[in-house]
Structure 1
Amino acid sequence: MIYRREIDGLRAAAVMPVILFHAGFSFFSGGFIGVDVFFVISGFLITSIILEEMRDGTFSLAAFYERRARRLLPALFLVVLCCLPFAWLWVMPEEFRAFSDSLIATSLSGANFLFWFKSGYFAPEAGEVPLLHIWSLAVEEQYYMFFPLLVMVMWKRKPSWMVAVLVAIACASLVYSEWASRVFPSANFYFLPSRAWEFLAGSICSLVQSKGQKRGSDPLSLLGFGMIAFSVFYFDETSPIPSTLAVVPVIGAMLVLLYARQGTWVSALLSTRVFTMIGQISYSAYLWHQPLFAFARIRSIDPPPLIVMGALACLSLMLAYLSWRFVEQPFRRGERRLLPSTRSLVASVSLVLAAFITFGIYGHDTRGIPWRLPAPIKEFMADNDWSKTCLLEGSSGWDAMPIENCIFNGSHAQTYAILGDSLASSLTPALTKRLDGMNIGLQQITHSFCAPVADVSMVPHQARDCGAFNAAAIEYLVKSKVKTVFLAASWKIFFEQSRYIFNGEEVATSDVGQRLRDAFDKTVGALTSAGIRVIIVYPHPRGDTEIAAKVAKLMHKGTPAPTITIAQDEFLQQSSPSYAYLDDPKDRHVLRVDPAKIFCGREAGRCDLARDGKTFISDKVHFTSAGAEAVADEILVALRQDDIMDGNGVAALSSD
């Protein structure tokens, strides 16, 4: 295949926006589309190589995969190995467990599946995931598994149909990506069926070129380059990519590949030394930049300033040159290459992958290898976890109520109940302890993702059973001897979903405001009409990072008693939609306990998530034992005041 300098230049134009976007430079708000351009380039080059070897009769599937392994794996293994010591030293246990999972997924070419399941690419915490960017490499590897087989079949049977078949598959993939961008946006971003048309766009360019299109065009190549630039500067995180919107950078890349020939202005620009050099090291640069940025964010208490991120972007290019020069090239060059035989390459790759997978499984099974941390940090993390006891998941465990082994201090004559999601589970041990001192038992009825609202579920699959769970729980409580029920949940998460399921019907947010209010009123009314006193535990301040891990990081760096805060105005703004729903039920049997009275106001304008080394929130949402005990004390104040009220009006009680 004839070398074209401008293609290396196009690689540079693709990788630099990605790096600068991940560094946090807002000017490159659509820099992530560089990955889409990479997919087009990859489809073009791979197809060109396969077609050339098919025509020469030298194509071998085994040789193809060996070349891909030599191209991709040595630099990838180096970067992963370099990540291990920094993760070992700096990453907190839960984060290290997630890193271990990504190590396994990377080794199995399934990183895109893991990151789809775990988190969103644009989520705030994504910047602290060292191997997040490997999702795109997984998609590319999955494409390589199928595409050569398709070309082989078409070449042997109907080579004249190849263009038509690839165009048809590309159109189907594009239509699917447009549909999935609306219905399954996260899966759409990460999975091959939504991305295949981008690779095939490059393949179609290769077929067009093979049929004689080798003439340059200044207008068309300038248009293509302008379409890519437009996407980089005008798209942002809200842009549904991939979808028909991604046609802009993809068509732009196609026009550059087809028409930025020698003698055109775009070719002259992309063929300059700077562009071609960055293009040659672009793969290594892509591998290095995300770990550098992630570990900088992990090690820093506050987000690193842009000048630091810019310096790290430059460092990624320096490391990329070294790994390209001393790792990539020695494994790829024809003569005197490292591991020259296929057998030695396969054995070495298998050994490294087995080691990564084994280490990843160990990191997962030990919950992040907590013993690697200094003893005070290890003890602190253990003491500031949240309780998952009796927290149900899925459709099992609640077919019969009361739930076995989830009644605490049951020997007391009187028993209360707590109904809710995982936040309620984190509150239960402290509340159990306080009620035990009043000779009252507590029955825990908690299910992950299930806010206590009758007949309503969030759309994520973990929450699909919530409507049925809550209906069963309320039916049981109404018939039981329980006369006081606590309703506690991650209300902010529940009331800010994009879609809900009402009695099996999925409905968009714009249509659910009154229905949510009616469902919550129905829940409270069903309980109070049965003579049950309802205590609603209101939203509490929450973090945008793991609070206990952040405190532990500060302690690890030498701050003995850290305080972590958020602005009170920010908390009130975040919580106001939830307050509007929770304030609605008007019944004399409803008490309201507001944790904000505990965590906010000690100093004007702030809410404390951790105070003088005492941590109230474990991750971003759930109470530590200290946070749960503070809320439980507030609940007891409300209960005691209710006992002495004259019964007029609504009890909305909380101590200062």
Structure 2
Amino acid sequence: MIVSRLYSVQALRAVAALAVLAGHLAQNEIRFLDAPLLPAWLQAGASGVDLFFVISGFVMVYVTRGMGRAAPAQSARFLYQRAARIYPAYWLFTGLVLIGYLVMPGSLTRGLDELNLLASLTLWPVSSPPVLLVAWTLIHELYFYLVFAGLLLLPGRLFVPALVVWIAAILAAHWSGLAYSGAVAGLAFHPLTLEFIAGCAIGLLVCSGRRRFGAAALVAGLALWAGSFAWLAPAGPADIPMGWLRVGIWGVPAALTTYGVVTLEIDHRMRTPGPLVALGDWSYALYLAHLPVVALLVRLVDRFVPDTGPLPNLIFIATASLASIAVAGLTYRLFERPVLALTRKWGDRVFPAAPFLREPPIAARIW
């Protein structure tokens, strides 16, 4: 059974964005304010990124299910649609952060001379972080989309072998040291790519009707996530894991949770809360907006609110949370939706509606 729209995916996006927001709230409270109120384990909200990566892989397979092999024009249109989804809102918030660098240079972590503006605007991988710090994940997403567009050109019977080759290439690059030879190689063979591939595998399983263990997967995923949060409870921001460890402690729970939630919805064994679905629509804007909002408000609170017990912390947590969500909602309604409608019209003019080359669905060839 295939469902045209999975509300659980939107809910998972909302959870991922809220988790990242919570993690940055905790990190900034610890860094700037006395006697933090938020528990240290909330810093593990950074694991929302891993959930985003798994969701991306799942959605890419799910929305192209049964379409067969793409013509080159169809693959190009896919890339255009992904770029149109990512870049406009990203450029908006990058511009706002640049204004912040100009207005408050002393309160930020880098000077203008340290920025690689061209790499930031294009999301090209370089050794220095982008202007909008959370955009490091978008660099990974664009890489995922580029490779997936190539996979769409393959006959369906080669899709799974291509994923296996991709995994083998990542392992070989780390074994040989190639993965450490530069920023581009580091991106191409990054362990976090395995989370996207795991999402693709989940999409293949779901589309082929293999949904027997949804409840068990969800319970296991949540339990592993809780265990990772407890393990990282004493950690500071510098101790947030990356690489292979991150894939193990956050990627695996993200994959199990995604498989569990999606299969339970398809089998009508779970209802998705409406507010989470709505917030899922705002999740990209929330992800982009929250860190500049949090960084600005924690500095304002630290400077202007008297240090009287927990008052500064409470004001920061409340205002930063509400302001991040409010900015995300306004961005989605006033910017994202109109821009997406406009770019969709442009796409219809520029890219012909090339059909997929008909052949048996990818999902029919998994085993």
Superposition TM-score tier, normalisation by shorter sequence: 0.7 to 0.9
Shift, 1:27, TM fit = 3.0
Instruction: Please identify which structure carries the higher helix content.
Output: 2
Change (3 A) 1:227 1:197: same
Asked if residue 97 in structure 1 is aligned to residue 112 in structure 2, the reply is yes
Show the counterpart of 2:25.
23
Change (3 A) 1:302 1:280: same
What are the Cα deviations for residues 433-453 of structure 1, in whole angstroms up to 9, with x where unaligned? xxxxxxxxxxxxxxxxxxxxx
Q: Distance in 2 between matches of 1:47 and 1:34?
A: 20
Contact between 2:8 and 2:265, CA under 8 Å: does it hold in 1? no
Asked if residue 47 in structure 1 is aligned to residue 61 in structure 2, the reply is yes
Shift, 1:299, TM fit = 5.6
Q: Distance in 2 between matches of 1:22 and 1:177?
A: 30
TM-score under structure 1 length normalisation = 0.43
What are the Cα deviations for residues 186-225 of structure 1, in whole angstroms up to 9, with x where unaligned? 979x734212211111111112223222456322222223
Change (3 A) 1:238 1:318: same
Contact between 1:221 and 1:255, CA under 8 Å: does it hold in 2? yes
Contact between 2:98 and 2:131, CA under 8 Å: does it hold in 1? no
Q: Distance in 2 between matches of 1:62 and 1:264?
A: 31
Asked if residue 230 in structure 1 is aligned to residue 189 in structure 2, the reply is no
* 1:154-233 equivalent positions in 2, closer than 5 A: 154-155=154-155, 159-170=156-167, 172-173=169-170, 191-194=187-190, 195-215=192-212, 217-233=214-230
Show the counterpart of 1:547.
none
Match of 1:312 among 294, 299, 320: 320
Aligned amino acid, residue 198 of structure 2:
A
Q: Distance in 2 between matches of 1:223 and 1:94?
A: 39
Give the number of aligned pairs: 322
Show the counterpart of 1:332.
340
What are the Cα deviations for residues 478-534 of structure 1, in whole angstroms up to 9, with x where unaligned? xxxxxxxxxxxxxxxxxxxxxxxxxxxxxxxxxxxxxxxxxxxxxxxxxxxxxxxxx
Shift, 1:289, TM fit = 0.8
* 1:409-428 equivalent positions in 2, closer than 5 A: none
Q: Secondary structure at the match of 2:345?
A: coil
Q: Distance in 2 between matches of 1:290 and 1:91?
A: 17
Instruction: Please identify which structure carries the higher strand content.
Output: 1
Q: How well do the aligned residues superpose, as a CA RMSD in angstroms?
A: 3.9
Aligned amino acid, residue 193 of structure 1:
F
Q: Distance in 1 between matches of 2:295 and 2:281?
A: 24
Shift, 1:23, TM fit = 1.4
Show the counterpart of 1:341.
346
What are the Cα deviations for residues 454-493 of structure 1, in whole angstroms up to 9, with x where unaligned? xxxxxxxxxxxxxxxxxxxxxxxxxxxxxxxxxxxxxxxx
Q: Distance in 1 between matches of 2:172 and 2:218?
A: 26
* 1:548-587 equivalent positions in 2, closer than 5 A: none
Show the counterpart of 1:247.
248
Contact between 2:169 and 2:189, CA under 8 Å: does it hold in 1? no
Contact between 2:214 and 2:264, CA under 8 Å: does it hold in 1? no
Q: Distance in 1 between matches of 2:251 and 2:268?
A: 17
Contact between 2:215 and 2:264, CA under 8 Å: does it hold in 1? no
Q: Distance in 1 between matches of 2:350 and 2:329?
A: 23
* 1:448-467 equivalent positions in 2, closer than 5 A: none
* 1:486-565 equivalent positions in 2, closer than 5 A: none
Change (3 A) 1:58 1:95: closer
Match of 1:32 among 1, 25, 46: 46
Show the counterpart of 1:65.
79
Aligned amino acid, residue 336 of structure 2:
E
Shift, 1:246, TM fit = 2.1
What are the Cα deviations for residues 41-90 of structure 1, in whole angstroms up to 9, with x where unaligned? 11111232334443687971221122112211222122223334333221
Q: Secondary structure at the match of 1:113?
A: coil
Show the counterpart of 1:259.
260
Shift, 1:284, TM fit = 0.5
Q: Distance in 1 between matches of 2:16 and 2:171?
A: 21
Change (3 A) 1:233 1:176: farther
What are the Cα deviations for residues 561-605 of structure 1, in whole angstroms up to 9, with x where unaligned? xxxxxxxxxxxxxxxxxxxxxxxxxxxxxxxxxxxxxxxxxxxxx
Show the counterpart of 2:331.
323
Aligned amino acid, residue 102 of structure 2:
W
Q: Distance in 1 between matches of 2:269 and 2:166?
A: 30
Change (3 A) 1:172 1:138: same
Show the counterpart of 1:399.
none
| Identity over aligned pairs, percent | 22
Asked if residue 134 in structure 1 is aligned to residue 149 in structure 2, the reply is no
Aligned amino acid, residue 335 of structure 2:
V
Max radius of gyration: which structure? 1
Structure 2 residue runs of 5 or longer lacking an equivalent are 27-37, 306-311, 352-367
Q: Secondary structure at the match of 1:3?
A: coil
Shift, 1:136, TM fit = 0.8
Aligned amino acid, residue 20 of structure 1:
A
Change (3 A) 1:19 1:312: same
Change (3 A) 1:42 1:303: farther
Change (3 A) 1:230 1:329: farther
Q: Distance in 1 between matches of 2:110 and 2:277?
A: 37
Structure 1 residue runs of 5 or longer lacking an equivalent are 116-128, 347-656
Shift, 1:2, TM fit = 1.8
Change (3 A) 1:13 1:231: farther
Shift, 1:274, TM fit = 2.7
Change (3 A) 1:274 1:266: farther
Change (3 A) 1:55 1:162: closer
Show the counterpart of 1:2.
4
Aligned amino acid, residue 112 of structure 2:
R
What are the Cα deviations for residues 133-163 of structure 1, in whole angstroms up to 9, with x where unaligned? 11111121122222211341x32xxx32422
Shift, 1:342, TM fit = 3.6
Q: Secondary structure at the match of 1:243?
A: helix
Contact between 1:227 and 1:252, CA under 8 Å: does it hold in 2? yes
Show the counterpart of 1:466.
none
Aligned amino acid, residue 201 of structure 1:
A
Q: Distance in 2 between matches of 1:176 and 1:303?
A: 51
* 1:400-439 equivalent positions in 2, closer than 5 A: none
Q: Distance in 1 between matches of 2:292 and 2:345?
A: 30
